[in-house]
Amino acid sequence: MKIKTGDTVKVISGHYKGTVSEVKSVDPKNNKVIVEGVNMIKKSLKPNQQNPEGGVIEKEAEIDASNVMLYDKKAKSISRVGYKVEDGKKTRIFKKSGAEIKEAKK
């Protein structure tokens, strides 16, 4: 999977099309990603020790990784991902601009 946690992506299809946000988590086995503020769902919680009131919370649900593309903040455009090997190190690059993708801090 070419998208990693912390990457900035743009949603390219669906209800949230055009939204630029950060990836919160990645599930490579199912090819799904959770993007901050995208695909919001309401979930009912039963009362428990930590939350005696219970109630309804709003949280992000997974979307398919094919519905997002990496977003280049400098060029302000989306791009596919390529790889470049220099001195035995493999780095991700934007295909459009050729710029290196900075690894997100965890």
Q: Is 104 contained in some domain?
A: no
Total domains in the chain come to 1
CATH number at residue 23: 2.30.30.30
8-state DSSP, 75 = T
Q: Please report which confidence band the pLDDT of residue 106 belongs to, taking 50, 70 and 90 as the band edges.
A: low
The token duo for 66 is 């094919």
Residue 86 lies in a domain: no
- The residue segments making up the domain with residue 23 are 8-74
Q: State CA 86 to chain mean position distance.
A: 26
The strand pairing partners of 88, in sequence order, are none
Q: Which two tokens stand for residue 67?
A: 């519905």
Report the SS3 class of residue 65. Answer: helix
Residue 17 domain-assigned (yes or no): yes
pLDDT of residue 1: 86
Q: What is the pLDDT of residues 1-55, one digit of tens each?
A: 899 999 999 999 999 999 999 999 999 999 999 999 999 999 999 999 998 998 9
In a domain, 85, yes or no: no
Residue 88 belongs to some domain of the structure: no
